[in-house]
Chains A and B, each alone.
Chain A
Amino acid sequence: MLTFALRRAVLGILVLITVSVLVFVSFRFVPGDIVNQQLSEAGAVTPELLAQKRAQLGLDKPLLVQFTEWASGVVTGDFGKSLWTGRPVANQIVTALVPTMQLSIVAIILGAVLGIGAGVAAALWRGTPGDMILRIVSTVFLAIPQLWLGLLTLTGLAMIGYYIPLPYRSFSVNPAINFQQVIFPAVALSLGVAAALSRLTRSAMLEVTGADFIRAARARGVPSSRLYIGHGLKNALIPVITLLGTQFGNLLSGTVIIEQIFNIPGLGNMLFEAVANRDYPVVQAAVLTYGVITIVVNLLVDLSYGIVDPRIREARS
């Protein structure tokens, strides 16, 4: 198991290096830079002033030098300074990561509970109106973009006279307000996840519940609840867990827009602004952070297969 985890970790590092190089190079070819942004409203800007500003930010150095300096900093935990704020990027990332992770974890838990629950229910009610309703609802939520779900949630709340309190407060500062600020965007994010999980759980459950071992267990008089949850769901979980891992990645990308709509000062919000402002160090560090999270989640998913299925655990060991 350890060897497997190490092998995946090494692969993960290679992926991160590739992502870093790709982001660094591709973003530099996007037109526009931060100095133009900073001086956009200035009346008279001489070429000397532009050159002076670019030199101050190190943007006049060759690309290879800029990348080497950045990469060597990253290895030592120094992500450089934001070109826009002048503050250390690592501090900004850590500050922004907390609300993003809180939002993502709440959303994925909600999505998993709703999706797996609905999937199991739909499988149990196969062919009934309940099954049909659940399938229609899941298709609807699969089709709706997260942006629209976010706006719909915000508008729906306003229509019933409820407004999410402002400004944002962290959980440690005010848990009650923080709960109100996180739960609704988390719901908006989770519905798509729940829809995908519900459909897969239903089909996996139907496949498993038709298997011989379930029929044998039923013949032995195993109670229905144990039959479906203890035997059926456990065996149907492998594809569901895989999808959960993939959905976590989608959910993270969804936070970029959802955080804007719900005024959450998270990583997505920060990345959105950094791209608009061509703040290279922040974009690179934020993408790297998203990469690390995705790799860690996928590693956890892979490791969890062994927990769910003893055959996989034995094969790995």
Chain B
Amino acid sequence: MFEGLSTYGRALAVLAASALLTSAAHAQDVPKYGGKVTINVHADAPNFDPLASTEYAVHSRLGLAMNRLVDWATGPDIDYGEFVPKPALAESWDISADGLTYTFKLRKGVVWQDVAPVSGRAFTSADVLATYAAIRESGVQKGLLATVDTITAPDDHTVVIKLKRPNVVLLQNLAHQNMWILPKEAFDGGYDRNSVVIGTGPWLLTDNQAGVATHYKKNPTYFGKNADGKQLPYLDEVEILPLKDLNARIMAFRSGQIDIWFGPLNLTQMAAIKQQVPDLQEIKTIANTQTELYLNPSFKPFSDLRVRQALNLAIDRLALGDVVRGGGAIGGVVGPALSKQTLPEDERIALYGTPDHEKAKALLAEAGFPDGFSFELTVLNYGEEFVREAEWIQQDLAEIGVKAELKMVDLAAGQALAKEGTYQGLFLVMSPFSEADEYFTTHFLKGGNRNYMGVDDAELTAMIQEQQGIADPEARRQKIWEIQRYIAKNVQNPLPIWSSLLLHPAHARVHGWRPMLPQGFPSLPEVWVSE
């Protein structure tokens, strides 16, 4: 190629060519402003009132237009389920030495989107007070502020939260996927928060038509900047399509009508898509949910810990995960997506992934069921693979003489049976929790929303409350692990089963897409498109 040139000349030519190539490659990586991405969310938003429901279809849409006080940081070094606090509407915060007082300094110069009646006025502490007061009164997020004693605002840009007792999870609770800050007018009759969305977020919701689409355009007054100080967001427009049928979603993705996939997808389907879209970004994480088997202690056999332990020893989870799900991670008291809080994998395998049918039968015999027993296993219909998991469990239990009769119900009916406690066995998918504390308080504290087993253990309650007050991260992690071991040994209910792989394919034209556990697409402001 460089024949006829001197050695020096050749070296120069090589350098020049390298520089050109590097610059071309660099141009590929430099974010560009403009463009649009389309995301599928497989349900309509029934309304836009964040205080009315925990529905993901609502909160995932609100995230594009709204902010929380504290947010989840995103980046190449941050795990899908790892909470690293990032300033959002609060620019900084101080925590008192006793852990009881949190002082938040609010970001100055933030304005609400230019939508009547708020019409672009400045964001102040009064908005934070109004939002949190409404949540504490009747918001679905009420439980996240349960340890809060008072919330005050010494000035327009300071909010002070005092706790009844130390709770190191407060920051994460304020960054929870449902904790959006609304203008105070949303609570004094100024507008209908059911249908009007006014936020401080990167995009402005321009229209929403049920069953059709939700559209957003760039908010010119958004305060967010990237690490280099560049104004965000990059995208001019975002479109969310509520495609409810899986095949329709696959077709839409293949045709490029969807850029970013959100929702269930298995490896076989992903492989089929990849045949049509070979350059897609194959992003995989461990699901933020896991399957769980609840055993109702009011059904006599399940009141005996030995029976629950026997069932635990009957299920071959690793084979199940391999055959039925084709990948993922073994479940734990705290789901494996919370990589820093769940027990290490080898310990989870020792606790839940080492089936021993002989030992299981011996435990059943000790408990007075040498010939096994029958029970009704209510299975919530989350789809084909979920049902196959239930069938796998059914076969494993049959190996130790326990006959599970599967009863399929829809989600609403299943939730009702769970809440009423009128089930014998219940197989479902866990909520997408983002903190070990959420797992503990919902499952194992009296009155917890997922305590379908009626657990009321004084020692466990004390341990759960204790971890909420441990400020040192490593010491807290040790306590969280200790709690999980205690539950595995003394409660063994629900039985964690499996966390599947979560697939988030995106087309090659999409850059900077990093799926994160909380709803609202926290990395989307840094997404840009190359066409």
Contacts and interface: CB of A to CB of B under 8 A. Distances in A.
Interface of A: 30-33, 36-47, 49, 52-53, 82, 84-87, 92, 95-96, 151, 154-155, 157-158, 163-168, 260-266, 269-270, 272-273, 276-278
Given A167-B212, A263-B245, A42 B419 contact: no
Contact of B413 (A31, A92, A164, A264): A31
Contacts of A92: 210
Contacts of A163: 251-252, 254-255, 257
B268 to A, nearest CB: 15
Contacts of B431: 40-41
A276 B411 contact: yes
Nearest to A269: B211
B447 A41 contact: no
B449 A45 contact: yes
Contacts of A52: 138
B320 to A, nearest CB: 25
Interface range for B: 35 or more
Nearest to A47: B447
Interface stretch (B25-33, B41-49, B477-485): B41-49
Contacts of A158: 251, 254-255
Contact of B412 (A32, A95, A154): A32
B220 interface: no
26 contacts: A32-B410, A32-B412, A32-B414, A38-B52, A38-B53, A38-B55, A39-B54, A41-B178, A42-B142, A43-B441, A44-B441, A44-B442, A44-B447, A46-B142, A49-B138, A82-B46, A84-B47, A163-B254, A163-B257, A164-B251, A166-B252, A263-B211, A263-B241, A263-B243, A269-B244, A278-B412
A166 B241 contact: yes
The 8 closest A-B pairs by CB, nearest first: A265-B211, A44-B143, A32-B412, A163-B255, A38-B53, A41-B54, A31-B416, A167-B213
Contacts of B210: 85, 92, 95, 265, 270
B146 interface: yes
A46 B447 contact: yes
Contacts of A87: 47, 194-195
A44 B211 contact: no
A270 B195 CA distance: 18
Given A163-B254, A165-B257, A41 B212 contact: no
A87 B194 CA distance: 9
Nearest to B519: A41
Interface in B225-279: 239, 241-245, 247-248, 251-252, 254-255, 257
Given A32-B410, A44-B448, 20 more contacts: A36-B416, A38-B140, A39-B54, A41-B431, A42-B140, A43-B144, A43-B433, A44-B142, A47-B447, A82-B46, A84-B46, A86-B195, A163-B257, A262-B248, A263-B211, A263-B242, A269-B244, A273-B44, A276-B410, A276-B411
